[in-house]
Amino acid sequence: MMSERQPIIQARDVHFHYTPGRPVLKGITLDLGPGATAIVGQNGAGKSTFVRLLNGLLKPVEGQVLVAGVDTRQMTVAQLARTVGLVFQNPSDQLFKSRVLDEVMFGPLNLGFSAQEARERAEAALAELGLEGLEARNPYDLGLAERKLVTVASVLAMGTPVIILDEPTIAQDQVGVRQLGAIVDRLARAGRTVITITHDMEFVARHFQRVLVFQDGRVLADDTAEAIFAQPELLAAAGLQAPPITRLGQALGLPATVLTVEAFVEAVRAGEG
């Protein structure tokens, strides 16, 4: 009996290779649903390949990916784009319009929104990323950090239930990272499914409830951020370390795993009180 709604994304024993004999994904089974999920792991672990299977850019060699219950093999990339929005790691793979505003309006227009609606959505997305005033600029005249934020705005403006961000914090300064974190928080609170690949463990610790550790084409661990960062050996096996503040808490023998500076300060004060 189906008592719960099915997860919006279901991966079932997914295998993938670009070249036969060189497997990139070696059997991934998991569900993804509302909230913020981080995918971490070393370069080459299969993270970016996996998310490209979720929006149908790639199809599994074996196994299947179901999006809203439908096998991605039965859907076109254009159909999937209504459900799954993907922000690429490299903005040059994504940007192609000569004005920032046109770039961000492109997705909503393609989904069938009117020009007026598309414009409103684009302007709201640009504002949320602190990009007001850049509407008329050419994306290629912007620095890498701003170009990346434009690609995030483009996908946000589409309002898809699933948003995938591949390495959003690259080249961002503290302000940019905080803006992206606030967006992840807002989307997760609104019940959207946010999936983010990142090497920034502080970003993961602060904004993500669930963490998937990828290693060599497999899921090595799938748990809460607290549980993952409490396991130094597991992290080491995947070439990772918990954020410094978490390791400081561990070294000082704090009773619980702390994920942020604020939690650390609070835990130390509680111990002193």
Query: Which parts of this chain interact with another protein (CB under 8 A)?
Result: 41-44, 143-146, 167, 170-176, 199, 201-202, 239-241, 243-245, 247-248, 251-252, 261, 264-265, 268-269, 271-272
Give the integer Cα–Cα distance in Å for 241 and 1. Answer: 42
Do 81 and 73 meet the contact criterion of CB atoms below 8 Å apart? no
Do 17 and 32 meet the contact criterion of CB atoms below 8 Å apart? no
Closest distance between another protein and the C-beta of residue 263, in Å?
A: 10
Q: Which is nearer to another protein, 5 or 22 (CB)?
A: 22
Give the integer Cα–Cα distance in Å for 175 and 41. Answer: 25
- The CA–CA distances, whole Å, from 121 to 7, 77, 191, 218, 221 equal 27, 22, 19, 37, 37
Q: Which is nearer to another protein, 109 or 195 (CB)?
A: 195
Closest distance between another protein and the C-beta of residue 121, in Å?
A: 26
Q: Which is nearer to another protein, 76 or 174 (CB)?
A: 174
Do 249 and 267 meet the contact criterion of CB atoms below 8 Å apart? yes
* Amino acid making up residue 161: P
Q: Which is nearer to another protein, 2 or 251 (CB)?
A: 251
Q: Which is nearer to another protein, 110 or 140 (CB)?
A: 140
Closest distance between another protein and the C-beta of residue 202, in Å?
A: 7
Order of strands, sheet of 84-87, starting from the edge strand that comes earlier in the sequence? 84-87, 162-166, 193-197, 35-40, 210-215, 218-224
Closest distance between another protein and the C-beta of residue 252, in Å?
A: 5
Closest distance between another protein and the C-beta of residue 68, in Å?
A: 32
